[in-house]
Structure 1
Amino acid sequence: MAIPNDFSIFNSTSYLTTEIYLNASLAPSDPPCADWTPVPMTTVIPAIYSVICVLGTIANALAVCVLAHASALRRTVANTFMLNLCVSDLLFLLSLPLWAVYYSRGYSWPFGRLACKICGALHNLNLYASIFFITAMSIDRYLAIVHPLRSQSARDPTRARLTCILVWFLACACSAPTLALRDTRYLSGLDVEACVISYPDHTWYLTLVWMKIALGFLLPLLVISCCYCAIGRHLLADTGLVRMRNCHTPPSMPSFKSLESQESCSKPERPPTPCVSPSSSGVRALEGRGLERVLWTVAAVVLAFFLCWFPFHCVTFMDVLNSQGKLDGCWVYWSIHNLTPLTLCLGFSNSAINPVLYCFIGNHFRGRLGGLCKGLCACLKARGEDHSQKRGSFSTRLSSFSRKLSDLKDLAIVEPTGPA
């Protein structure tokens, strides 16, 4: 099938943005925009991919090791979602070196047709799966904090595993069209065999792009924002209610203890005391620095998701408008061909940020990671000591054998003395 000579065939959302830049050499009718300096993709993109791959692989591999070696009591719903999210990110990050080579070779794909399809599938699979798992984790956190009692039956590890299976199935279903359309194509303009996606017509292009924008960004962003806004409002409301209870004087005859508590809340020279009722013990743990940490984590999750993927989807939307002739100009041409690879790199960085936000910030995870490292070091140290003991024992036996052999030689050399 011949490749149409338009920008829709080289949509970056399906093949890592390389082909948008490639199509510039295939469409001589497009404005040259010589005054706009292009970004050197063959050097910048491989360097960024390499950094993301190294940092993301280390972070996700550590997270997978800790979560996979957790005890049965530690395998909660959140840990189940986090483990699957790290596996999804790790699978995609392992394909980044191939794409880095692809860019460094001037957009020439040397790995064959099967590798082209597999790497493209991992890209699209991760794009959907990671966002779906983040959304599932946001809903779980909303249920755990806002509705802790009513959600106990729903927040079951077995149901979490079934949800993970459903997420993988939906991600595979959303990635199936691009997997079928992706293939290697010879581009005569650059004399290379590129890994591209060939849309049958413009309708296919628009359908898949809008599906990616809606299911891969807008809908998850709406759900995540609603969940974390409800969490923040719930925590702030409960904390304010507890403070009002702490400083509230009962209308009946007050006791000395209640008056002292009221004074401690009103006098500025005294440090504030918690004086929390037993019914608010769940909120007491979230007061002060604990509440601040939860709110900052919530804000970091939403901001990381938005900042990593919003620029990429904005440029993708610009590409849609450009393909329909509604947006034109050198700045549009330059933005689509140069900013799309860079914004996609920013989106890929979310795979390296996820384990930091969800795992390494938590004290329990850091404690388990430290325990795992200590156990590994102790195991290596024990093996080293055992090896040194074996070497020492062997050296001792060898030395004893050498001494015995020397004594035998001495006995054989010395002649016995008889009577005169």
Structure 2
Amino acid sequence: MQTNGSSEHCSDPNITFKNSLYATTYTVIFIPGLLANSAALWVLCRFISKKNKAVIFMINLATADLAHVLSLPLRIYYYINHMWPFGRFLCLLCFYLKYLNMYASICFLTCISIQRYFFLFHPFKAKNWKRRYDVAISAAVWLFVGVACLPFPIMRSLTNNSSSCFADLGVKKINSKTASVMMVTSAELFGFVGPLIIIVYCTWKTKVSLQKYRMPLANTSEKQRALRMVAMCAAVFFLCFTPYHINFFFYMMVKENVITHCAIRWSTLYSQPFCLSLASLDCCLDPILYFFTTSEFQDQLSRHSSAIIRSRLMSKESASSIKE
């Protein structure tokens, strides 16, 4: 392998490990992601009647995560058995759900950060905020993300091997390099850079406000909860999505032969499986956001747990009295 100059004589890295990496990652994520997001949806929808403080956005975030988690068994099957017997449509659907989850998660994390920031700094306007506004925003997010993610399966070319899927699908070539650069740049700006700036700004302003002003204890506690929430959104965003989007730009430029430098090509292709695996961790990290940053979630979960414990104790006492 040559590490400088053109890719004319540059061999691609050996990334046969990707099947094992993906199978392991998705297996580790599946059970915790399924249980945590199912429980989060159940608690958020069933027990929190006051749908404020970004709860609607968290419900949508959990729904996006659960949709991706439910497709993981098919991905695990493919990467273990190295074959796809379920047809082209299901292959592209599961492929589409991966990116739908990623960008829906990014949008709803951004919405949560904006709303917590807005409610904190404009409390009087927050009182007049209607639940239907969040529902309308969520519907707009799903529509926008759903359409914006369509190019991901469309850009994947079907290989002659009908048993291949996911990472083994080819990438269709775009005739114009300018069009390739514009498309990828637009995706990076709207899907990553914009949300990144918003989340960092909301986190920074909330932190500065908490440190700068002395407030009554109740207001301080509210700001601390808001800071924990936006900070957790930022942490999930940076950990899961930043490595992928930094690498994604170079990956698409390499695939379209816009970037031909051998060292960049090699490192980009080698890093892609790790970045893609890291992006799937948000399915397990988002439920942490609900529990540790939402007081209502903690209260309702603890009340339900207490009710279960009490009912079991009463059952045992009844059984003991019958035996006596």
TM-score (norm 1): 0.65
Structure 1 residue 127: Cα displacement: 1.8
Task: Identify the residue that residue 92 of structure 1 maps to in structure 2.
Answer: 68
Q: Distance in 2 between matches of 1:292 and 1:360?
A: 12
Deviations 1:311-360 (A, max 9, x none): 1112112224434444522x433322321111111111122111202334
Q: Provide the alpha-carbon RMSD of the alignment.
A: 3.2
Q: Is the 8 A contact 2:251 2:269 kept in 1?
A: no
1:362 aligns with 2:294: yes
Deviations 1:117-163 (A, max 9, x none): 2212211211221111111111111111011113332x211111111
Q: Single out whichever of 225-234 and 191-200 deviates more from structure 2.
A: 191-200
Structure 1 residue 294: Cα displacement: 4.8
1:42 to 6, 19, 24: 19
2:195 to 207, 217, 220: 220
Correspondences of 1:1-12 after superposition (within 5 Å): none
Q: Distance in 2 between matches of 1:332 and 1:200?
A: 19
Considering fraction of residues, name the structure with more helix.
2
Counterpart of 2:123 in structure 1: which amino acid? P
1:164 to 128, 132, 138: 138
User: CA distance change for structure 1 residues 96 and 232 in 2, over 3 Å: closer, same or farther?
Assistant: same
Correspondences of 1:174-185 after superposition (within 5 Å): 174-182=148-156, 184-185=158-159
User: CA distance change for structure 1 residues 320 and 71 in 2, over 3 Å: closer, same or farther?
Assistant: closer
Counterpart of 2:28 in structure 1: which amino acid? V
Correspondences of 1:29-68 after superposition (within 5 Å): 31-32=10-11, 38=15, 40-68=17-45
1:173 aligns with 2:147: yes
Task: Identify the residue that residue 54 of structure 2 maps to in structure 1.
Answer: 78
Counterpart of 1:104 in structure 2: which amino acid? I
Count of aligned residue pairs for this structure pair: 311
Q: Distance in 1 between matches of 2:150 and 2:43?
A: 32
Q: Single out whichever of 293-302 and 158-167 deviates more from structure 2.
A: 293-302
1:328 to 258, 261, 279: 261
SS in 1 for 2:159: strand
Q: Distance in 2 between matches of 1:141 and 1:193?
A: 44
Task: Identify the residue that residue 172 of structure 2 maps to in structure 1.
Answer: 199
Counterpart of 2:150 in structure 1: which amino acid? A
Q: Higher relative contact order by CA 8 Å / sep ≥ 6: 1 or 2?
A: 2
Q: Which has the larger radius of gyration?
A: 1
User: CA distance change for structure 1 residues 332 and 167 in 2, over 3 Å: closer, same or farther?
Assistant: same
Task: Identify the residue that residue 146 of structure 1 maps to in structure 2.
Answer: 121
Q: Distance in 2 between matches of 1:286 and 1:356?
A: 24
User: CA distance change for structure 1 residues 297 and 218 in 2, over 3 Å: closer, same or farther?
Assistant: same
User: CA distance change for structure 1 residues 130 and 197 in 2, over 3 Å: closer, same or farther?
Assistant: farther
Q: Distance in 1 between matches of 2:268 and 2:79?
A: 17
Counterpart of 1:42 in structure 2: which amino acid? N
Q: Distance in 2 between matches of 1:346 and 1:60?
A: 18
SS in 2 for 1:229: helix
SS in 1 for 2:160: strand
Q: Distance in 2 between matches of 1:92 and 1:356?
A: 17
Q: Distance in 2 between matches of 1:111 and 1:69?
A: 35
Q: Is the 8 A contact 1:315 1:336 kept in 2?
A: yes
Counterpart of 1:75 in structure 2: which amino acid? K
Q: Is the 8 A contact 1:89 1:126 kept in 2?
A: yes
User: CA distance change for structure 1 residues 85 and 296 in 2, over 3 Å: closer, same or farther?
Assistant: closer
Structure 1 residue 296: Cα displacement: 4.6
Q: Distance in 1 between matches of 2:141 and 2:223?
A: 31
Task: Identify the residue that residue 252 of structure 1 maps to in structure 2.
Answer: none
Q: Distance in 2 between matches of 1:292 and 1:162?
A: 28
Structure 1 residue 307: Cα displacement: 2.4
Q: Distance in 2 between matches of 1:370 and 1:294?
A: 21
Identity of aligned residues (%): 26
Deviations 1:282-327 (A, max 9, x none): xx2244x776565454333213212221111121122244344445
User: CA distance change for structure 1 residues 146 and 92 in 2, over 3 Å: closer, same or farther?
Assistant: same
Task: Identify the residue that residue 99 of structure 2 maps to in structure 1.
Answer: 124
User: CA distance change for structure 1 residues 144 and 66 in 2, over 3 Å: closer, same or farther?
Assistant: same
Q: Which blocks of at least 5 consecutive residues in structure 1 are unaligned?
A: 1-27, 243-280, 394-420
